[in-house]
Copies of this chain bind each other. A is one copy, B any other.
C-alpha cells in the first residue's frame, strides 16, 4: 500500500512508463513451492559446478587475492576476455581480446545496445515472437519496433524487404531461441548476413543457449557470416552460473569502444572477483567437461516434456509445439480463441505454471501461445504438470 502522507518525487518520463504487469504478478505465484513451474528461464542448479568453482575461488584468493578484490578495467579482466576470444576463434570467428567487452550479464548488453543505438522513435527490427528481456531493455529508450518476417523454420531472411533499410539494428536469436526453441539453418544465416550488407543493417546476435545442443552442434554463429556488422551477445549464466552475472559482447572494436565509454558512467566495470574465478575455471577446461552433463540433463527433460505433450494434449489441428534440438524452451500454439493469460490463471489453480505468450510480442500480440520450460523440473513432475495443463487446455477447446 502506498504511503499517503509520504512525499513523492517527480519521476522521469521513463520511470513513469514502467507499469506493473499482470504477467509478472502471475509469475510470482508460479514460484510457490507446490506449483510445477514451466515458467522459469532459470538453469537447473543440478548442473552447477559447485566444487570446481569453490576450488577456483580458493586458488584466486591465495594467488591474487588483492587484485581480485580491487577495481578493474571497464572492458573486463584480460584473462576472461582472452578466454572468450579464444573460444570465438575456435568457433570460426578470429577474435582478439579487444573485440570482447565483458558485461554484468547479457541483460546489461541489451541495455547498452539500447542506449548506444536507440533514440526516441528509432526503428528497431525484432523477431515475432522475441525475447521478453530484450523488449524490456529496448523499450526504456522508446524505439518503434518493426517485425522481421518468420515462418515455422524461424526468421526468413528472403522475406526481408528494402523497407528494413534505415533501422538502427535487427535483434535476432538464431539458435534455440527464447521463446520458440527454433534454430535457423546455415543457409538462412548466410542469406541474413548478405541481406544485412545489402541494406546496411547491423545485426545483434543474442546467443545464450548455443552451447546447450542435444545431439548435434548448431550451425556457425551469425557473426561468422558478417563479423564486420554483427554484435554477438554471450553469457556464462547458462553454462557456468547465473549468480556470477557475467556476459559479453563480441564485435568490432570501434563499436565496443562506445559501450566501454558508457559502461564507465553506468557501473564502472563488472565484478573483478567473479570474472577472475570464471576465467580460472574455464581456462582449466571446465566447460568441456561440464557442458556435456548439462546437455544430457536438458535433452532428457526436453524429451520427457515432448513425450508428455504427445500423450496428454488434446489432438486438435490448432494445437502444436516446437521440437527443439537444444536450449531450454518449447513453444506451444493453441486455438486462436484461447488467451493464454487467462489459461495461466486456471493452470495456477491446478498448480502448474508457464509463461503466457503475449509477453513475447513487440507489436501485435498472439495471445494463443505459451512458453514451456523443462529445465528445472524432473521428468516425473514434467509428466504430472503437462497432464494437468492438458486438462486445463481441453476444457477450453470448443
Footprint of B on A, CB under 8 Å?
Answer: 2-3, 6-15, 18, 42, 45, 48, 50, 53-54, 57-58, 61-62, 65-72, 104-105, 107-108, 111, 115-119, 122, 133, 136-137, 139-141, 168-169, 200, 202, 228-229, 237, 241-245, 252, 254-255, 258, 261-262, 264-274
Q: Which of B7, B9, B57, B267 sits near A245, CB closer than 8 Å?
A: B267
Is there an interface contact between B270 and A245, defined as CB atoms closer than 8 Å?
Answer: yes
Interface residues of A: mostly helix, strand, loop or mixed? helix
Does B111 lie within 8 Å of A266, measured CB to CB? yes
B61 and A12 form a contact (CB under 8 A): no
21 contacts between A and B (CB under 8 A): A8-B254, A9-B117, A10-B168, A11-B117, A12-B115, A12-B122, A14-B115, A14-B119, A15-B262, A50-B66, A54-B58, A54-B62, A57-B61, A69-B242, A70-B243, A71-B242, A104-B104, A133-B268, A244-B273, A245-B271, A271-B271
Q: Which of B3, B10, B242 contacts A254 (CB 8 A)?
A: B3
CA distance in complex: A252, B141 (Å): 26
Which B residues are in CB contact (< 8 Å) with A243?
A: 67-72, 271-273
- The one of B53, B104, B108, B258 in contact with A69, judged by C-beta atoms closer than 8 angstroms, is B53
Q: A50-B61, A70-B45 in contact; A6/B104 too (CB < 8 A)?
A: no
In the complex, the answer to whether A65 meets B50 with C-beta atoms within 8 Å is yes
The chain B residue sitting closest to A57, CB to CB, is B57
Q: Given known contacts A15-B258, A61-B53, A262-B140, is B10 in contact with A117 (CB within 8 Å)?
A: yes
A119 contacts B12, C-beta separation under 8 Å? yes
Contact: B48 with A70, CB < 8 Å? yes
Q: Does the CB pair B61–A119 fall under 8 Å?
A: no
Q: Is the CB of A9 within 8 A of B169?
A: yes
In the complex, which of the residues B6, B18, B62, B267 contacts A108, with contact meaning CB atoms closer than 8 Å?
B267
Looking at the assembled complex, report how far the CB atom of A50 sits from the nearest CB atom of chain B, in whole angstroms.
4
Bound: A264/B18 CA distance, A:
11
A318–B187 Cα gap in the complex (Å)? Answer: 72
- On whether the beta carbons of B57 and A2 are closer than 8 Å, the reply is no
Q: A65-B48, A271-B274 are in contact. Are A133 and B71 (CB under 8 A)?
A: no
CB closest chain-B residue, reference A2 = B254
CA distance A265 to B258 in the complex (A): 20
* Residues in B neighbouring A9, C-beta threshold 8 A: 116-117, 168-169, 202, 229, 255
Check A252–B14 contact: CB distance below 8 A: no
The docked-state distance in angstroms from the alpha carbon of A229 to that of B136 is 29
* Given A6-B228, A45-B69; 6 other pairs, CB 8 A cutoff: A104-B271, A242-B272, A244-B273, A245-B269, A245-B271, A273-B273
